């Protein structure tokens, strides 16, 4: 059952964090919200996120830098990257690091739900 997995949402924009968090909770998933990649790293090193949804541009470490760091450490959950400033180079970089989805803000709820279902199903299949 996918509902038992934790979705970590990382975005420096509080309205995006809260809105996306409310949507994910309404679907039955557990959610933790973080204002930065650094906050996630400090608080979530043992949280076993089933999926991370992260903005690209944030003060400090970007969402893609976080994804690359976790991948290098060998403990990277599926990532969904979102940005208000899409660039093809960023999309390619996120995909190389293993991103499940690369969403351009604003996106509709159907798009993020489909990405979450894919990411959480993929995480569930890991040994």
Q: Which two tokens stand for residue 89?
A: 């180079």
Give this prediction's pTM. 0.92
Q: Average pLDDT of the chain?
A: 91
Strand order across the beta sheet in which 6-10 lies: 30-34, 6-10, 51-55, 79-83, 101-104
Q: Exposed, middle or buried by CB within 10 Å (0-12, 13-18, 19+), for 45? A: exposed
Going from N- to C-terminal start, the domains of the chain cover 2-125
Q: For domain 2-125, is the CATH number 3.30.450.40? A: no
Per-residue pLDDT of 11-38, as tens digits, reads: 999 999 999 999 999 999 999 999 999 9
Per-residue pLDDT of 76-125, as tens digits, reads: 899 999 999 989 999 999 999 889 999 999 999 999 999 999 999 987 66
State which H helix or E strand residue 67 sits in: helix 63-73
């Amino acid at each position: 059952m996918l509902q038992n997995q934790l979705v970590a949402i990382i975005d420096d924009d509080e309205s995006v964090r809260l809105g996306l968090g409310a949507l994910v909770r309404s679907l039955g998933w557990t959610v933790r919200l973080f204002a930065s990649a650094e906050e996630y790293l400090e608080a979530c090193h043992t949280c076993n996120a089933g999926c991370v949804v992260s903005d690209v541009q944030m003060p400090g470490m970007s969402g893609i830098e976080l994804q690359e760091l976790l991948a290098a450490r060998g403990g990277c959950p599926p990532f969904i990257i979102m940005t208000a400033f899409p660039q093809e180079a960023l999309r390619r970089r996120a995909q190389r690091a293993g991103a499940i989805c690369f969403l351009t803000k604003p996106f509709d709820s159907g798009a993020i739900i489909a990405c979450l279902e894919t990411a959480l199903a993929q995480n569930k299949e890991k040994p």
